[in-house]
Amino acid sequence: MTADPIELEATPGAAHGSAPLLEVRGLSVTFKSDEGAVHAVDDLSFVVDENETLGIVGESGSGKSVTSMAILGLLPKSAQVTGEVLLRGRNLLTLRERDLQPLRGNKIAMVFQDALTALNPVFTVGSQIGEAIKVHHHDIGKSQLHDRVIELLEVVGIPNPAHRANQYPHEFSGGMRQRAMIAMSIANEPDVLIADEPTTALDVTIQAQVLEVLERIQERTRSSIILITHDLGVVAGVADRVMVMYAGRQAELGTVDEIFYEPLHPYTRGLLASLPRVDGARGERLHRIVGQPPSLVFVPSGCAFHPRCPRAQPGPCDHERPALRAVGDGHLSACHFAEDLVGVPIEEEPEAPVPELVDEVAAAELPGLELPSEEASP
Ligand code: SF4
C-alpha cells in the first residue's frame, strides 16, 4: 500500500514552542495474517495538549483501540509498529520494557473497555486499586495505602467506600465497576489517561455519571484524556477536539464545534446524519452509510472510504489517497473535495446509491431479518 505523506500544516497544539504533552507521529501498526498484512493503523499523527480531552471516534475495526495499545506499548510482539509516540518529547516506541514499565500506569494510564474482564474476580476491588499504587510506590505504608484507596473510591463517587473496598468485582454494578477501573487508572495521577470505550454496555444514566467522573477527575488532576468511543454523543459533551478514524486512517480532526457544526469529510457527515433526531418527522427513515467498513487486509485503493462515499468521483477518489490537510485553522480533513462541503447542511447529505445490494447481503447474513419496504407505513 502506498501512502502520500500527511500534510500537517497546522497540527493543533504543536505550535506553542515547547514539546506537546503527547505527540503521535506517523504511527502505523501492521499484523500478519493468513490472508496478508492487516493494516490496523496507517500513518496516524496527532497531538494531545495539557489538560485537553481528545475524542477518537470510529466504527469497530477503525483502529481506535489498536492506537491506544500502541501508545502504551501493549501490543503483542507480532505487531509491526512504526512511527513515533512522544511523551514530553521522549519516544515511547524506542524504550525497552523495563524503561516503559515505570511510565505505564504512572505517567500514562488506561481505563480498559470491559471492567468485568479487566478486574480480577478473586481479589477485592480495594486490593486491586492498592496494587496499582504499590507498583509505583513500593515504600508506601499500609495505613497510608488504605487511606489512599478509600480516597480514590470516594473521588470516583462510590458510596460507602470503606465497605466497598473490601468487596469483590461481582458485588459491584456495571457502573461501579467502571468507576473502580477509573479509580485504579488515576491512582498515580497520570499526565495522560486513555479511556477506551469507558461507557460501552452502560445505560445512558450511568454513562452520564461515568463521563461526569472523568470530567471531575480532569479538573482535579489536570490530566489529559484520550476518550475512545464509537458514540459521537459521548464525545460531544466532554471532548475539546475530536479525531474521526476510518479504516485505520484519520478522516477528520477538529474542535468539537468544527466536527459537529461544520464537518468537512463525507464519512463524518454520514455519521452525524445517521444520528436519530428528536425533531425528525414521524416514520422518517434514518440516514445510513451503505456498505460495510473494508477489510484491513484489502483496503480500497485511493480514499479508503470511496466504495461507500456518496460524493466519490472516479479518478481522484479511487486512485489517489487524500492527504490529511488543513481546511481551517487547526481543522484537518482527508478528503479531496473537503472545500465543496463548506456551508452544506448535514440534512442534505446524500446516501451512496447501492442500497438494494446492501439489503440483500444483510438479509442473507441475518436470517429472519425483515427489511422495511419503502412503502411501509410506520
Ligand atoms: Fe469521498 Fe472522495 Fe472525499 Fe474520499 S476523497 S471522502 S471518496 S469525496
CATH of the domain at 254: 3.40.50.300
The answer to whether the CB of 309 is under 6 A from ligand 1 is yes
**Is 179 part of any domain?**
no
DSSP H or E stretch at residue 218 = helix 204-221
pLDDT at site 18:
66
Cβ(130) – ligand 1 distance below 6 Å: no
Q: Which of 290, 313, 354 to mutate to test the pocket of ligand 1 (most atoms within 8 A of CB)?
A: 313
Distance 362 CA to ligand 1 centre (A): 24
Query: Is the residue at 302 inside a domain?
Result: yes
Residue 195 belongs to what domain range? 10-107+190-276+287-371
Residue 263 lies in a domain: yes
**What pLDDT is recorded for position 149?**
94
Structural domains of the chain, count? 1
What are the cell numbers at 365?
Answer: 447474513
Residue 103 lies in a domain: yes
pLDDT, residue 116, reads 80
How far is ligand 1, taken at its centre, from the CA of residue 251, in Å? 10
Any domain includes 122: no
d(CA 176, CA 180): 6
C-alpha 15 – ligand 1 centre gap (Å): 29
Beta strand spans in the chain (E): 22-33, 36-48, 53-57, 80-87, 90-91, 108-111, 192-196, 224-229, 241-246, 249-255, 325-326, 332-333
Q: What is the pLDDT of residue 279?
A: 75
Q: What is the pLDDT of residue 309?
A: 94
User: Is 151 inside any structural domain?
Assistant: no
pTM for this model (two decimals): 0.84
Ranges under pLDDT 70 in the chain:
1-18, 201, 353-378
Q: For residue 96, is it within any domain? A: yes
Domain assignment present for residue 281? The answer is no
